Amino acid sequence: MRLSYSVLLGGLAVAAALASPASAQAQPNAVRKHLVYFRDKAGTPFTVSQPQAFLSARAVQRRTRQSIAVQPRDLPVTPAYVAQVRAVPGATVWYTSRWFNAAVVSCDSATLRNLQALPFVRSATTLNRTAAVTPSTPRPRSSEDAQDPQQRTQANPVYGIAYQQALMLGAVDMHNAGFRGEGMQIAVFDDGFPGVDQTSPFASMRNENRLADVYNFVERNTAVYGRDSHGTHCLSTMAANETGRFIGTAPKATYRLYLTENIVGENPIEEVNWLLAAERADSAGVDVISSSLGYSSFDTPYGNYTYADLNGRTAISTRAASIAARVGMVVVNSAGNEGNSAWQRILAPADADSILAVAAVDSFRNRVGFSSIGPSADGRIKPNLASQGHQTAIVNVSGVPTRGSGTSYACPVLAGVVACFWQANPTLSAQQVISFMQRSGSQYASPDNLLGYGIPNFVTAYNLANPGAPLSADSPKAATGQLFIYPNPVRNNELYLQLTDAFQGKPLRVRFYDARGALVAEQALAATGSAEVRLTPGPLAKGVYTCDVSAGEQVRRTVRFVKL
């Protein structure tokens, strides 16, 4: 379910698809699907000591940097089990799940009984019903609401109408300090991204090869530029980058767009799509997941959740989000738009522990009535943080800036800031990132279950993480612009640093840190009026590095680069 005030809160291919019938692609929910769980991973050719067989180098580096061990849970399912399932007449395997040790299989009830009789099958759960089901009543949608005359509409010659929501979270200072998401990867789960492949606000992402992957888990193909527009709206709050019209909160990040939601109906298969997208994101080495989706009730009530189920360990999507957090990604998810409904509460997977569930406020920093409330069923503070979700600036499928409301939009606005904060503090773990963001919240000292720890702020979080080198809105560091390293990625040892005015004419100290935060090289540079200097870190192994550049005590920047 999408959660704009609509409702979408909206290895690399090891767990992706096997060929599917054309009829299944045309009618993704016309065939009954089941999640078939296996008893074990016996006989698997994969081992935790050789993770590169099913995880990208970037994914391994993310774990290594955070001291997260590869576990049996991460191993692909046993190929022999999948082969035997495929051999059962009438069974079609759509996907496999590493984390759940399961396969998504389409078949009728008789075939399912045959599958359950296999000795390595533990159990099975039905994910959707066939035909003759009346879709659930659509929730209210206002993804392009008329502008509220009471709304703060302060525009900006750079940010356009997106200025206020960026200013609220300290993102303007963040960008001025040189953190716009370079080198960070964000996966977006939603229902479609029309216009992203064509319109001008996303042109820099396309032209700079920062659109790394797209996949449609509903139809099992790469057709993501159709269906509903909700994904485009959510993505725009982070990725749009058109000076004078719209600047998102992470305009230089790299994005992976995953279509997980089927707008035709609401079934648990969509939660499994969420799981599969998270596994693909994990395998690719994604840093942040932005999900404006939520689940509690379905077209047929057999899969409905009660409030008691929102305990962080029951819902399919919640269990998936918890594992995503444990493998080192920061998961940012909308809290839900149920505040004015009989349900009122957050939706899955916002109840997952170790993730950020995001509530909605208006431009005056006041909670919006539709924003779902907590706590989780087991008493944890939910939502965790808040961002602007009323009359949020978005870009529509035609590339035109407009406004929409919902926790759907509060989520990605904040997710972009989270990614840039991690860029600025690359040695932190995912959970440390969450901790600092929460500690920067406007009501950290007295959190509640309406806005959690409140509205976070980049500068406050940065200063908490860097007490010896604070950043302030009026300091030189917040206004001197951005450093660039090129070529990035670098294939040999020829590396250059482009300097801003703040670094020219001053002696510089350059330190190079690997993905684990270990200092691997250091270089002193004499003062120069040149806009560019040659860096000589010496031979570097393949991997992700952070270059820390300082000019005395007052001016300091970090920039990431990749050595191939």
Catalytic positions, written as ranges? 190, 230, 408
Sequence-ordered alpha helix ranges (H) in 466-534? none
Amino acid (1-letter code) at residue 352: A
Alpha-carbon separation of residue 329 from 163, 334, 354, 429 (angstroms):
28, 16, 10, 9
Q: Where are the beta strands (DSSP E) in 142-284?
A: 185-190, 211-216, 241-242, 246-247, 254-259
* Contact by Cβ (8 Å): 181, 251: yes
| Three-state DSSP state, 216 | strand
Cα end-to-end span (Å), the chain: 40
Which residue matches tokens 């009471």?
Answer: 150
In whole angstroms, give the CA distance from residue 142 to residue 148.
12
In whole angstroms, give the CA distance from residue 426 to residue 424.
6
Comparing CA positions, the residue from 469, 369, 355, 405 lying closest to residue 165 is 405
Half-sphere exposure of 73 (CA within 13 A, CB side): 15
In whole angstroms, give the CA distance from residue 220 to residue 260.
10
In whole angstroms, give the CA distance from residue 352 to residue 115.
31
In whole angstroms, give the CA distance from residue 72 to residue 53.
13
Alpha-carbon separation of residue 351 from 41, 140, 321, 377, 502 (angstroms):
29, 22, 9, 8, 45
In whole angstroms, give the CA distance from residue 486 to residue 496.
5
Query: What does the chain come to in residues?
Result: 564
Amino acid (1-letter code) at residue 82: V
Amino acid (1-letter code) at residue 275: L
- How large is the C-alpha radius of gyration of the chain? 23
In whole angstroms, give the CA distance from residue 561 to residue 548.
11
In whole angstroms, give the CA distance from residue 394 to residue 142.
12
In whole angstroms, give the CA distance from residue 562 to residue 236.
26
Question: Encoding tokens for residue 43?
Answer: 């006989």
Question: Encoding tokens for residue 418?
Answer: 């989270």
Q: Which residues of 184-213 are buried (b: 16+ CB within 10 A; e: fewer)?
A: bbbbbbbbbbbbbeebebbebbeeeebbbb
CB-count exposure of residue 377 (10 Å: 0-12, 13-18, 19+): buried
In whole angstroms, give the CA distance from residue 425 to residue 439.
15
In whole angstroms, give the CA distance from residue 56 to residue 543.
11
| Three-state DSSP state, 51 | helix
